[in-house]
Structure 1
């Protein structure tokens, strides 16, 4: 479901270090929900074109005001060249939010001992429309201001352990790509069986969008909703029997998530050893 949380009254300065696809999507959503551009300072060598009122520089400012929220959105391999300079500039009680894949909290903390609160995030791209997922893990229990800042992005889920980060990322971070692939597979299957391809694509896309919307507004579980529309001996039930045979769909997705999770761990290990 789309988050309706708003940032119209937000008054803390925000510093974004890197403003690529993900950080840019987050910023766009924040601005859309009322964040004042005058509170935002972006540091990015590419100097992205952003909303009027946002300060955009290619280098870190000389100092960072106390209480600033700092979102680090650079590639993890570039953090080594930024960490010391950033740490030297952090004012008191600055909250640092990291969306750098593969960098655990203890490594970021080692580079930023002057940071106040430190939170690791893994958002997915639907945060742009307030329909995303943001996984979080922090050094200490939840902070009201962090929760308020993240709420407009969609579902915010705190993980019990940082060890769950790779699996959580495989599900919600990689998951949109798997849903896109499923929509494409429905299209290909229907066109191979005789529907015109463009028509099959429209039907597949709206079917998945409508089903996702319906289940997000229902008190029933997805499994219960599937069974509710699958009459014994009917078309839906016969198709579901194919998916359910020997748990073939569950097994396929288990293998998919395992592969993504394990690759995440490999990439993290490579980043840490670099």
Structure 2
């Protein structure tokens, strides 16, 4: 159990989740597993669909409280519907966290002028297991409020503060979207193994175990991932021959650069859409 989250003083007041889709739901599961009291949490979603046990689910904002922290977990396209109602309730002490891709700090400040501390956060789905990566950005000077957000996110995995908001789209493309790209890689690795004659289910198990073990080794090693690849590849061996294919004309790097740039471009388009409003 994470002591920082089980301590009642870690989040002194109600915690609202405005929307609870795949990402916000994964974060909620991770927080509760880390010791957050479900009774502190209220999920506001039009469907009223239940979430984790002990969490209050409402179809409208609570009328009898002001949250200590509110997190925007809706689709970015829904922000202009949600903001006018939510902004009337929040006060200067409420910490507002947004996980909405492409929604800039200036846009959030325009929509929620009462909130002194607004933090952009970009997590990824492994937060559910406490193995996530979350980028954070804020223009707030309230160190205590920012420390509360950092403790909350650190319970879900690695946290990185981004100094320049212009780089936030790159964070979204790399670590926010990254799990999907890795899932596709695992699927392709298994499919390639099956093309060599392995049963597909066996190839999938071997691919998953290989990626899981290699990631754990890379995380614990003092060498860079590039150095580890060269360490595995003996001169003239089969691994080296495979790496020669990936490395030829930087084809793997070029593919991933194009992948991230496509995601980054879409994030910037969403930011423009958010600036224009409804």
Partner of residue 201 from structure 1, selected from 201, 204, 216: 204
Does the alignment pair 1:100 with 2:90?
Answer: no
Partner of residue 211 from structure 1, selected from 201, 211, 214: 214
Does the alignment pair 1:7 with 2:8?
Answer: no
Work out the CA distance in 1 between the residues paired with 2:101 and 2:137.
Answer: 13
For structure 2, the 5+ residue unaligned runs are: none
Contact kept in structure 2, 1:5 and 1:152, CA below 8 Å: no
Contact kept in structure 1, 2:105 and 2:118, CA below 8 Å: yes
Does the alignment pair 1:173 with 2:176?
Answer: yes
Query: Which shows bigger deviation, 119-128 or 80-89?
Result: 80-89
Q: What does residue 38 of structure 1 align with?
A: 39
Contact kept in structure 2, 1:63 and 1:90, CA below 8 Å: no
Q: Classify 1:5/1:155 alpha carbon distance in 2 versus 1 (closer, same or farther; 3 Å).
A: farther
Query: Which shows bigger deviation, 217-226 or 132-141?
Result: 132-141
Work out the CA distance in 1 between the residues paired with 2:11 and 2:261.
Answer: 42
TM-score normalized with structure 2 length: 0.91
Alignment of 1:18-167 (within 5 A): 18-62=19-63, 64-65=65-66, 68-140=68-140, 143-167=146-170
Q: What does residue 270 of structure 2 align with?
A: 267
Structure 1 stretches of 4+ with a deviation exceeding 6 A read: none
3-state SS of paired residue (1:268):
helix
TM-score normalized with structure 1 length: 0.93
RMSD over aligned CA atoms reads 1.8
Work out the CA distance in 1 between the residues paired with 2:135 and 2:252.
Answer: 25
Does the alignment pair 1:226 with 2:229?
Answer: yes
For structure 1, the 5+ residue unaligned runs are: none
Aligned length: 271
